[in-house]
Amino acid sequence: MAWDFSTEPEFQRKLDWVEEFCREEVEPLDLVFPYAVRSRDPKIKALVKPLQDQVKEQGLWAIFLDKELGGPGYGQLKLGLLNEILGRYGSAPQIFGSAAPDTGNMEMLAAYGTEEQKKRWLEPMLNQEIWSAYSMTEPQGGSDPRLFKTHALRVGDEWVINGEKWFTSAGRVADILFVMCTNGMFVVPRDTPGVEIMPEPRAHNHIKYNDVRIPLDHLLGPEDGARVLAQRRLGGGRIHHAMRTIAQCKLAFDMMCERALSRESHGKIISEHQMVQEKIADSYAAIRMLRLFVLETAWKIDNSSTHETRTDIAAVKYTMAKVLREVSFNALHILGSLGTTNLTPIQAMYAGAPTMGIADGVDEVHKATVARNVLKDYEPHEGFWPTEYLPAKREKAREKFEPLFQEDPELRKIAEGYARYIARRS
């Protein structure tokens, strides 16, 4: 029986290196030069490249890609252990070549792209020479593909795209847009005529596609295959978000524990107040349960597929948002007025928690998915009473013992005594 919660010593050394590297190199870069990874300034790029070279020397570049797709092939479980470190530091995923939304888009390209498409887009994305965005959600239909209206019409040797997309994260700064249409997934350069990026919102963009013309070879995968590509992309993306959310929760937890031991209230250290202890205890348990759930789900993916593990992926997705919301609130409360400012990461973490319950599909949709999938393994009971209706089960159990009762009347009397006792207690 294989049942182990340990990490191989060799990989643990990798994790130790990542933790020290992020703390000593990545975080200082973040604090002095925010968003340095995306900077076009040669001086800033000169600070980023040596760090990325160190990551590549460790064999940790583009860690999300399987071996057959050109990556190191660590698998989801090891990726989970890495991400619960990377998620603590803002630019760490980009320093390691594994930041959303590029990760999912690169995975689609690696799995479904032609050799020419990989050379044109995947290689530059892996080298962070270009950036991408995923244009899926629509204003009227949210993330439900059945309600999408954006469509690509084939006209001669071109596709002509018309439609409207909402919440295209980082669309404004992307070089290419992966546009999900009713009849396929298309790669659209952002500067293509007809791509209109609306002024608001700034980070998650509203984009109109007005007679956008692209060559035929900008279709990714088969025509009408967008939903298959999207499920592959989103399945991996959701579990990766959950992995990084663990890191955020642990950061909030570390801050609340440190604060609880550092401040006084009503004549004693606040960690001695029972309501503070309750928040710490509840947060600890919630984080531990989320972590085990995420790592088990990652293990299941490694041993089957994202499709086979879709129920757990959906459950992890809405659980992570709930835990992040609760833990960050507890931390904010214990930090007091400081927690409401932008002088620590807590306020932004708590403000961002609701977004985690909406991005990649709202929690309610995932809960409905989990319920439907779980119920497939059950059948309705016959008659009026459920399977666990005790009077019926006792009657059936007595039938099982009847041959023994016939052989031994004394045993029957003992059983009848127990039956009278149960009847009195009821």
List, for residues 70-100, the tens digit of each pLDDT value.
778 888 999 999 999 999 999 999 999 998 8
- What per-residue confidence (pLDDT) applies to 20? 98
Number of Cβ within a 10 Å radius of residue 203: 11
Distance (Å, whole) CA 243 – CA 314: 14
Q: What pLDDT does residue 259 have?
A: 97
Angle at the Cα of 319 from the Cα atoms of 317 and 323, rounded to 5 degrees: 125
DSSP secondary structure code for residue 409 in this structure: H
| Secondary structure class of 388 (helix, strand, coil) | coil
* Domains parsed from the chain with CATH numbers: 9-113 (1.10.540.10), 132-220 (2.40.110.10), 227-375 (1.20.140.10), 390-425 (no CATH)
**What is the pLDDT at residue 221?**
96
pLDDT band at 65 (very low <50, low <70, confident <90, very high): confident
Supply 175's token pair: 């070089």
- Rounded to whole angstroms, the Cα distance separating 72 from 91 reads 21
Q: What is the mean pLDDT of residues 171-195?
A: 97
The rounded percent of the chain whose pLDDT value lies above 90 is: 84
pLDDT in tens, 12-39: 999 999 999 999 999 999 999 999 998 9
Give residue 1's pLDDT band: very low, low, confident or very high (50, 70, 90). low
Question: What's the rounded Cα separation, in Å, for the pair 332 and 130?
Answer: 37
337-388 pLDDT per residue, tens: 999 999 999 999 999 999 888 888 889 989 999 999 999 999 999 999 999 9
Q: Can you tell me the distance from the alpha carbon of 118 to that of 221, in angstroms, rounded to the nearest whole number?
A: 12
Over range 153-165, report the average pLDDT: 98
What percent of the chain lies above the pLDDT cut of 70?
Answer: 100
Q: 70: exposed, middle or buried (C-beta count within 10 Å: 0-12, 13-18, 19+)?
A: middle
pLDDT score recorded for residue 52: 96
Could you tell me the pLDDT band of residue 68, with boundaries at 50, 70 and 90? confident
Question: What confidence score (pLDDT) does residue 2 get?
Answer: 72
pLDDT band at 313 (very low <50, low <70, confident <90, very high): very high
Tell me the C-alpha distance between 252 and 73, whole Å: 31
In this structure, how many other beta carbons lie within 10 angstroms of the beta carbon of residue 289? Answer: 12
Q: Are 177 and 171 contacting, i.e. CB atoms less than 8 angstroms apart?
A: yes
Give the pLDDT confidence score for residue 239 in this predicted structure: 86
User: Which pLDDT score, from 0 to 100, does residue 231 have?
Assistant: 82
- 176-181 and 132-135 strand pairing: parallel
Averaged over 173-191, what is the pLDDT?
A: 97
Alpha-carbon gap, residue 210 to 206, rounded angstroms: 13
Given a cut of 90, is residue 334 above it in pLDDT? yes
In whole angstroms, give the CA distance from residue 152 to residue 56. Answer: 39
8 Å CB contact between 259 and 335: yes
The overall average pLDDT reported for the chain is 94
At residue 408, the pLDDT reads 96
Task: Enumerate long-range contacts of 88-91, CB under 8 Å, 24 or more apart.
Answer: 88/22, 88/247, 88/248, 88/250, 88/251, 89/22, 89/23, 89/26, 89/27, 89/30, 90/30, 90/34, 91/26, 91/29, 91/30, 91/35, 91/36, 91/37
